[in-house]
Amino acid sequence: MAIEIKICGLSTEETLDAALDAGVDVVGLVSFPKSPRHVAPERAAALAERARGRGRIALLTVDADDALLAELVAAVSPDILQLHGDESPERIKTLKRRYGSEIWKAVPLSTREDLAGAEPFWETADRVLFDAKPPKGSELPGGNGVAFDWGLIVDLDPKRRFVLSGGLTPETVTEAVTATRAPAVDVSSGVESAPGVKDPELIAAFVRAARSAAS
């Protein structure tokens, strides 16, 4: 099966190029000041322009208001809006009408009961991104290096368009894809040498492992 690979939280030309040269499908730019991967709008715009035509561009936000989203979309022209806050299905419908971009909605998982949180988004978002619930006290909705129990989604309807995230690494992505049959994977901290510092070698290793699992 084919698999879509996204590297999130890219913030330098070197690591952006490393991801695209490794063959990733989607590069992710984070707009969330509390994150070590945050890039300001003008920086995001420069990175997006460098990536355009080489891979799809995702813009990650957390409960961004209309003014901030308008500024970011104007700067980045993303292919994908990746929403990691408390955005409602109605909010997603509004943003799809307004911007016409693909929308991925993050749903954090810890227990089987959490799967119910995805239900309202199967019909409104283009993809549901399953991530681990953040550790207690964390201010980051993602990028915490925490995995959830993949067994929670092994029985998911194979027609569901989802993205597997949460603590993936070059060492675990093969097992994760095999177990869940994920059509897409998203990694951030799992290819870093320090918080917010992407490692080109880990990026390449992750891509190789994910492609191997999907072949």
**Catalytic pick from 63, 126, 131, 157?**
131
pTM of the model: 0.93
Query: Which residue's structure tokens are 């190029």?
Result: 17
Is 131 noted as a catalytic residue in this protein? yes
pLDDT by residue, tens only, the chain of 215 residues: 689 999 999 999 999 999 999 999 999 999 999 999 999 999 999 999 999 999 999 999 999 999 999 999 999 999 999 999 999 999 999 999 999 999 999 999 999 999 999 999 999 999 999 999 875 655 556 555 778 999 999 989 888 999 999 999 999 999 999 999 999 999 999 999 999 999 999 999 999 999 988 77
Cα(145)–Cα(152) distance, integer angstroms? 18
**Catalytic pick from 8, 63, 126, 186?**
8
Is 8 noted as a catalytic residue in this protein? yes
Topology of the domain covering 4-214: TIM Barrel (3.20.20)
Question: Is 210 within 8 Å of 174 (Cβ atoms)?
Answer: yes
Q: Where are the domains of the chain?
A: 4-214
